[in-house]
Amino acid sequence: MTTHADQRKPNILIFMSDQQRADTIPPYGKAKTPNLDRFCQAGVTFSNAYTISPHCCPSRATFFSGLYPSQHGVWNNVDVGNTLSRGLYEGVRLWSEDLRDDGYELRYHGKWHVSATEGPEHRGFNEPAASVEGYRHARPHTGEWSRYAGGETLVESDERKDGEIMRNGYDTYTHYGVHEDPFNDRATVEEAIASLRQLGSESARRPWCLYAGTLGPHDPYFVPQRYLDQYAIDDIELPPSFYDRMEDKPGLYRKTRGRFDQLTEREHKEAIRHYLAFCTYEDDLFGQVLDELERSGEAANTLVLYLSDHGDYMAEHGLWCKGLPCFRGAYHIPAVIRWPAEVKDPGRVVDEFVNLADFAPTFLEAASIETDRVFAGSSLIPFIRNDRPEAWREAVFTQSNGNELYGIQRSIMTKEWKFVYNGFDYEELYDLREDPHETCNRFGQAEYEPVVRSLSEQLWSFARKVDDVCINPYVMVALAPYGPGVAFATHS
């Protein structure tokens, strides 16, 4: 018997955490995530999903547009005083606008961080908003000086407390702790649940899309005590790369680690414990959303996506958070889709490379919406139906101009190699088969020069495809080991 739900376009429910590593959920499972464990068994897990930039704004703009930063225009945090871009390029369209124009009811709750000049209400979500002017290059706001001018936060002390990082001329940073409602994520989920109840009562009229964006497990890692109690400090292990002093890597990497070297090994383990507990807390919140979806009666006709915008180093190479050190932990993200009406052979793990640009074309295909836009990503619907596309990417490409400490960085990663072009320092090359933890930089060793050239060719070919113009030939900035011209080289 065909039900009304079978005749309708699918609902779409998105739960995006912030700064969550892929290895905190199945099939890796470093964190305790009972809701995601069950969810993965009913869906398709993309075990090699990656962000395209190691921080929030460019990655979220890619998720919503299906484009790389060179195409959508958001390179860094849009809210800070020294931002280079406050919003999307003129003419960039988001998948939410396509759903709106197709008759979807859209609701948005939680973190946005796509543009400082407009909100989700300008892009199809919630109630229609007044039009906004396009992005114009404005003077930076200087309000950030207020936290220093008063001097209240700059208490100098010779005594460092547990989890603290002392910084001359800055406020003291506390890396982890206990908080009953970190980042107000509980309120975000409660609002999302209230929307689900309302949408469920209106489901006979229109398909819907709901986005819930929490801020955990972003640093600093403050979590409710009951989740922290699920982890014993004696069970926590430091990552294999923790003792890598990075002498063969860019100086910025070592300089960044220097901040975290204030922490003892026990404190690093405590931070890991807090981070994993934070992931368990987010799993609990996600479970509450799933429970409400089940109560609504709409679960069978809803595509549910769980993912994050980027990862976290979690003590790899002695680092935390995310940034220009181009290591896997900051880029590897969780991504799981459950769609009862379409997932074939649920519980599967897909290990092909996917990235945040793939979800825009996925949503449009799921909703049977056609567009003539060209995306940087490709639809994941074939994988959902247990079909591998005839042609699929063999590499992951990333773009960063630095997050507030600016520096050009581009990378290419295959299953065998990772090459990082650093405009601010020397390059990196890792043999991922022999060195999966990226501890030994092979760049500059003569026997690997053919690999560097081959990966450079692919890197610049992709850059041309996505309109990336960090190709200035001026002698002071043309510092790549192989310039963009190798993309057009002919081999004899």
Q: 146 or 231, which is more confident?
A: 231
pLDDT given at position 386: 96
Question: Six-digit token pair at 190?
Answer: 């409660």
What are the DSSP calls for 12-79, one per residue?
EEEEEESS--GGGSTTT--S--HHHHHHHHTSEEETTEE-SSSSHHHHHHHHHHS--HHHH---S-TT
The DSSP secondary-structure symbol of 375 reads P
Average pLDDT value for residue range 175-189: 96
What whole-number percentage of the chain has pLDDT above 90? 83
**Length of the chain (residues):** 492
Q: What angle do CA 388, 389, 395 make, to 5 degrees?
A: 95
All structural domains of the chain: 8-142+174-384 (3.40.720.10), 408-488 (3.30.1120.10)
252: confidence class by pLDDT, cuts 50, 70, 90: very high
Whole-number Å distance between alpha carbons of 492 and 485: 16
Residue found by looking up tokens 């890991």 in the block:
272
- Region of 313 (left: φ > 0; alpha: ψ -120 to 50; beta: rest) is alpha
Q: 2 or 220, which is more confident?
A: 220
Nearest alpha-carbon partner for 89 in 111, 58, 44, 112:
58
CB 320, CB 327: distance < 8 Å = no
Q: Which of 29-43, 129-143, 174-188, 377-391 has the lowest mean pLDDT?
A: 129-143
pLDDT given at position 156: 66
473: confidence class by pLDDT, cuts 50, 70, 90: very high
The DSSP secondary-structure symbol of 80 reads S
Question: Six-digit token pair at 85?
Answer: 């871009």
pLDDT digits (tens, 9 = 90+) for 315-347: 999 999 999 999 999 999 999 999 999 999 999
Asked if the model's pLDDT at residue 349 lies above 70, the reply is yes
Whole-number Å distance between alpha carbons of 412 and 401: 15
Q: 294 or 127, which is more confident?
A: 294
Q: 153 or 92, which is more confident?
A: 92
pLDDT digits (tens, 9 = 90+) for 146-181: 878 776 566 667 789 999 999 988 889 999 999 999
pLDDT digits (tens, 9 = 90+) for 62-77: 999 999 999 999 999 9
- Region of 314 (left: φ > 0; alpha: ψ -120 to 50; beta: rest) is left
Give me the phi and psi of 281, to 5 degrees please: -60, -45
pLDDT given at position 434: 97
Question: Six-digit token pair at 356?
Answer: 């945040």
Q: 124 or 138, which is more confident?
A: 124
pLDDT digits (tens, 9 = 90+) for 127-146: 777 667 666 777 777 878 88
Give me the phi and psi of 416, to 5 degrees please: -105, -35
Q: What is the CA radius of gyration of the chain?
A: 23
Nearest alpha-carbon partner for 420 in 255, 251, 249:
249
Mean of all residue pLDDT scores within the chain: 93
CB 71, CB 397: distance < 8 Å = no
- Helix H or strand E segment including 393: none
pLDDT given at position 202: 64
pLDDT given at position 490: 62
Average pLDDT value for residue range 355-362: 98
- Provide the terminal-to-terminal Cα distance of the chain, rounded to the nearest Å: 64
Beta strands in 148-292 (DSSP E): 164-165, 173-174, 176-178, 208-213, 221-223
Asked if the model's pLDDT at residue 390 lies above 90, the reply is no
Asked if the model's pLDDT at residue 421 lies above 80, the reply is yes
Average pLDDT value for residue range 283-292: 98
Instruction: State the angle between helix axes of 265-296 and 34-41 in degrees (0 to 180), rounded to the nearest 10.
Output: 50
What are the DSSP calls for 84-122, one per residue?
S-SSPPTT---HHHHHHHTT-EEEEEE---S-SS--GGG
**H-helix segments, 136-238:** 146-149, 185-201, 225-228
Asked if the model's pLDDT at residue 203 lies above 80, the reply is no
pLDDT given at position 147: 78
Q: 305 or 169, which is more confident?
A: 305
Other CB atoms closer than 10 Å to residue 127's CB: what's the count? Answer: 5
pLDDT given at position 85: 87
Residues 6+ apart with CB under 8 A from 254: 245, 246, 247
Return the amino acid letter for 265. Answer: E
pLDDT given at position 204: 60
pLDDT given at position 4: 37
pLDDT given at position 492: 44
Asked if the model's pLDDT at residue 417 lies above 50, the reply is yes
Average pLDDT value for residue range 42-71: 97
The DSSP secondary-structure symbol of 127 reads S
pLDDT given at position 277: 98
Reduced to 3 states (helix: H, G, I; strand: E, B; else coil), residue 412 is strand
pLDDT digits (tens, 9 = 90+) for 428-445: 999 999 999 999 999 999
